[in-house]
């Protein structure tokens, strides 16, 4: 059967993509961020997962406010790099695994998740930034992908607990897949930031680091947080953090922390945590 071997929580700040594309990773303001991902890249290169399930939110590239699904799952053979308004980024497209994706979609529906199944799907910075932070690539990516887009843009949003339960349902689906595949799941977004209104630029580094503590050791507490509580403490856009709970819900209770990093020099808390699943430490 397939196994979830690891989970990664990571920010997906769009400016990181611009810096990456311009080769500015060693600039003093950015080097601590990019260096923070090097241990994760090394670890993933050693583990060589077959499939990455990436839980992210689309910021108006493939979905917009007129039609925004609560949960959308990719079931395509490949996923194009989307144009967010300033041209396509110089990244290769992503290979999917339709058989695995359809298995996942069917399992989620029978677990009472009313998902939108996408047989065509382009991906944007919410997906792209975590990928090039965690994997090196040449003409192709070293891992197949399944995009899972979550609505954290247009209210009403799914609750933190609902995202956690989505992760549990994803784990059940993965473990029911008959082929031997190793899977890593990424929960993306946040951390503390607000990009509008009187609190523009709001940061709460104490909240961010407490969240990193809890996502590792006591994630059930985080499922009790309301959208209002998250936004009041960490800024309106910090509600993206509920997507990290999908990642954590897909993992076993006991995890081993491989790496953790936090950097907040600008208007957004940039966090990273990499967790190995203790129940699936070895790929068969």
Q: Does pLDDT of 183 surpass 80? A: yes
Pairing between β-strand 3-10 and β-strand 270-277 as defined by DSSP bridges: antiparallel
- Report the run of H or E that residue 105 belongs to, with start and end: helix 98-110
Q: How far is CA 224 from CA 68, 164, 230, 249, in A?
A: 25, 10, 11, 13
Question: How far is residue 15's CA from residue 31's CA, in Å, rounded to a whole number?
Answer: 14
Domain locations in the chain?
3-280
Question: How far is residue 214's CA from residue 232's CA, in Å, rounded to a whole number?
Answer: 18
pLDDT score of 281: 54
| Total-model pTM | 0.96
Q: Does pLDDT of 283 surpass 60? A: no
Question: How far is residue 20's CA from residue 31's CA, in Å, rounded to a whole number?
Answer: 11
Q: 207 and 35 in contact (C-beta within 8 Å)?
A: no
Mean pLDDT of 68-73: 97
pLDDT score of 282: 46
Read off the pLDDT of residues 123-180 as tens digits, 9 standing for 90 and up: 999 999 999 999 999 999 999 999 999 999 999 999 999 999 999 999 999 999 999 9
Please give the structure tokens belonging to residue 122.
């382009």
The verdict on domain 3-280 having CATH code 3.40.228.10 is no
Residues known to be catalytic: 125, 193
Question: How far is residue 173's CA from residue 148's CA, in Å, rounded to a whole number?
Answer: 14
Residue in the structure block whose two tokens are 């990424």: 186
């Amino acid at each position: 059967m397939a196994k979830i071997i690891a989970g990664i929580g990571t920010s997906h700040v769009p400016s990181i993509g611009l810096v990456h594309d311009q080769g500015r990773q060693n600039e003093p303001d950015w080097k601590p961020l990019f260096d923070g991902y090097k241990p994760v890249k090394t670890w993933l290169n050693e583990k060589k997962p077959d499939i990455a399930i990436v839980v992210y939110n689309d910021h108006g590239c493939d979905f917009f406010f007129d039609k925004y699904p609560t949960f959308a799952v990719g079931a395509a053979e490949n996923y194009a790099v989307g144009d967010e308004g300033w041209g396509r980024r110089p990244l290769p497209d992503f290979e999917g695994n339709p058989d695995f994706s359809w298995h996942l979609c069917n399992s989620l529906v029978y677990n009472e998740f009313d998902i939108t199944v996408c047989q065509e799907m382009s991906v944007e910075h919410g997906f792209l930034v975590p990928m090039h932070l965690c994997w090196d690539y040449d003409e192709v990516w070293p891992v197949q992908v399944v995009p899972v887009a979550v609505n954290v843009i247009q209210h009403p949003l799914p609750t933190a607990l609902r995202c956690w339960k989505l992760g549990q349902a994803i784990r059940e689906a993965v473990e029911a897949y008959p082929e031997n595949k190793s899977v890593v799941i990424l929960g993306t977004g946040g951390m503390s930031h607000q990009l509008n209104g009187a609190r523009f630029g709001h940061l709460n580094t104490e909240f961010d680091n407490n969240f990193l503590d809890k996502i590792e050791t006591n994630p059930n507490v985080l499922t009790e947080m309301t959208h209002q509580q998250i936004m009041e403490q960490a800024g309106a856009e910090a509600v993206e953090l509920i997507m990290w709970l999908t990642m954590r819900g897909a993992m076993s209770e006991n995890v081993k922390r491989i790496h953790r990093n936090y950097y907040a020099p600008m208007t957004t808390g940039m966090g990273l945590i990499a967790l190995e699943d203790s129940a699936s430490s070895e790929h068969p």
